[in-house]
Amino acid sequence: MTDLERCLDFIRGIADRAAKVKEPSRYGVAHLHPDLPAVWSRNYLFATENLDDANAEALAAETDRILGGLGLRHRKVELVDAAAGDRLEPGFRELGWDSECDVIMVARRDPDREVDTSIVDEVGLDELAAAWSEGWRAEPRVESEDVVRQLVDNRRVMAQAVDTRFFAARVDGQIGSYCELYFDDETGQIEDVLTLEPFRNRGLARATVSRALEESRAAGHDLTFLIADRDDWPTKLYAKLGFDEIGRIWEFIRPPQSA
C-alpha cells in the first residue's frame, strides 16, 4: 500500500466513525451528524462512486436531497479522487459553489532548521475549549455562539472517533497556538493547526507542529501526515518542516443561503 493509500484509508476511517448517520447515495455515502447541523465537516456527501458519470449538477442535486431533507442550510461534497475533483471543479464554480483543494503532505525530510519545542505542552481537550472558541469567534462564517458550541462539541466527537492528543504553545501562560494529533498504531495525522491572532508571526505554529511530529514519531508511527489548503500560506511552512505533497482532496461547498 502506498503512503497516499494509507492516508486516504486513515481519513475514510475517521469520517466513517465520526458520522452519527450514514445515508447511502448513488455517488457514495453522506456522512451526517444531525446534532451538529452547523458543522460542515460532519455533514456532507462523501462522493466515491460512479464519478465517471457524475457532473456538478447531479452531485448538487444529491446534496439537496440528502442534506436539504434534514433541513441543513449548507451543501458540501468531498472527493478524495483528485482527477474527478479537477474535472468537476469548473461545474461547481458555475453553480456558484466555493471550491477548496487540500493537499495531503507527508513528513519525509528533516526540517530546514532545528525548532525549540519547549514552549509546547500536551494539554487536555477541556483546557483547549476556550482557545478554540476564541479562534472560531474571529471567523467570518461563524454566525453565533451556538455555532461556536457546535464546533467545540465536534472536537469531542472527533476525540471519540479516533485516538487524539492535543498540543499547545503558550506565551506568558496563555495558549497561543495549538494542533491535534490523530493516530493509530502506525499512522499519525496532524490536524487543526491554528495560531490565535494576537500571537501570530512568533513561530508558534512551527513549534506546535514540530512537537506533534516528534511525538508521532516517538510513538512509533512510520507515517505522519497533515492536510492543508493548497492555496494558503501554511503549505510553505509545512514544506520547511519536511512535509511533501503526495495527493489532493477536493471540497465543494455552498454556504448557507441568506434568508
- Angle at 102 (CA atoms; ends 69, 22), nearest 5 degrees: 30
Pairing, β 223-229 against β 98-107: antiparallel
* For residue 156, pLDDT beyond 70: yes
User: CB neighbours of 45 closer than 8 A, spacing ≥ 6?
Assistant: 25, 27, 28, 29, 30, 59, 62, 63, 66, 67, 76, 77, 78
Report the pLDDT averaged over residues 165-193.
95
For the stretch 104-140, pLDDT in tens is: 999 999 999 999 999 999 999 999 988 888 888 888 8
Closest CA to 211 of 177, 163, 174: 177
- Angle at 117 (CA atoms; ends 106, 206), nearest 5 degrees: 50
For the stretch 8-17, pLDDT in tens is: 999 999 999 9
Q: How far apart are alpha carbons 24 and 27 in whole angstroms?
A: 8
Q: What are phi and psi of 66, to 5 degrees?
A: -85, -55
Q: Which CATH class is domain 120-246?
A: alpha beta
What pLDDT score does 141 carry? 82
**Bridge partners, 133 (sequence order):** none
Residue pointed to by grid coordinates 452547523 = 38
What pLDDT score does 259 carry? 44
Domain boundaries, given as residue ranges, for the chain = 3-103, 120-246
Packed helices 145-161 and 3-18: angle between N→C axes, nearest 10 degrees: 120
Grid coordinates of 110: 528533516
Packed helices 145-161 and 125-137: angle between N→C axes, nearest 10 degrees: 140
How many residues are there in the chain? 259
- What percentage of the chain reaches a pLDDT higher than 70? 99
Give me the sheet containing 44-47, strands edge to edge: 21-25, 28-32, 44-47, 75-79, 243-254, 98-107, 223-229, 187-195, 174-183, 163-171, 120-123
Least confident of 138-142, 183-187, 206-210: 138-142
What pLDDT score does 258 carry? 55
